[in-house]
């Protein structure tokens, strides 16, 4: 299946009534950067922390061709994700450690890309 590109903007979401179940008058203005501002396209990669809880999102990523990084426990299927990291997906300390390492690696990669285009 081909990868589709989506153009999502806040005005269209408001017209469709997609505003997280709250009236717009109840939004905290400081949350504006996090509430689906204009976005073009699909994410480059998706990190899945719990395969069982996020199975639907994982299937959508597979269908759309979005690469995934999955934290997998003993009760998960390592073949579903593109990159599988064996870890305890129930322990917050485990999740925090791995996500911190991923964030560090992403930031390091971005900075080296900017320096050496």
Is 66 found in the same domain as 35? Answer: no
What digits encode the pLDDT tens for the residues 72-99? 988 889 999 999 999 998 889 999 999 9
Q: Assess contact for 68 and 53: CB atoms under 8 A.
A: no
Q: With bands split at pLDDT 50, 70 and 90, how would you rate the model's confidence at 69?
A: very high
Q: How far apart are CA 75 and CA 55, in angstroms?
A: 13
Is 49 found in the same domain as 25? Answer: no
Is 104 found in the same domain as 52? Answer: yes
Is 47 found in the same domain as 34? Answer: no
Is 9 found in the same domain as 33? Answer: yes
- pTM for this prediction: 0.63
Is 81 found in the same domain as 59? Answer: yes
Q: Which candidate, 63, 94, 66, 89, places its Cα nearest to that of 78?
A: 89
Is 56 found in the same domain as 32? Answer: no
Is 115 found in the same domain as 85? Answer: yes
Is 25 found in the same domain as 2? Answer: yes
Give pLDDT, residue 82: 94
Domain range for 67 is: 43-117
Percent of residues, the chain, with pLDDT higher than 70? 64
Q: Assess contact for 25 and 64: CB atoms under 8 A.
A: no
Give pLDDT, residue 117: 61
The mean pLDDT of 43-55, rounded to a whole number, is: 90
């Amino acid at each position: 299946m081909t990868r589709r590109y989506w153009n999502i903007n806040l005005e269209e979401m408001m017209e469709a009534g997609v505003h997280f179940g709250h009236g717009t008058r109840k939004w905290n203005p400081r949350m504006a950067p996090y509430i689906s501002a204009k976005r073009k396209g699909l994410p480059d990669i998706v990190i899945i922390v719990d395969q069982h809880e996020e199975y639907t999102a994982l299937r959508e990523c597979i269908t759309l061709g979005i690469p995934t990084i999955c934290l997998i426990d003993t009760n998960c299927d390592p073949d579903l994700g593109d990159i599988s990291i064996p870890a305890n997906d129930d322990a917050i300390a485990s999740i925090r450690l791995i996500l911190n390492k991923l964030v560090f690696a992403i930031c390091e990669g971005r900075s080296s890309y900017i320096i050496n285009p």
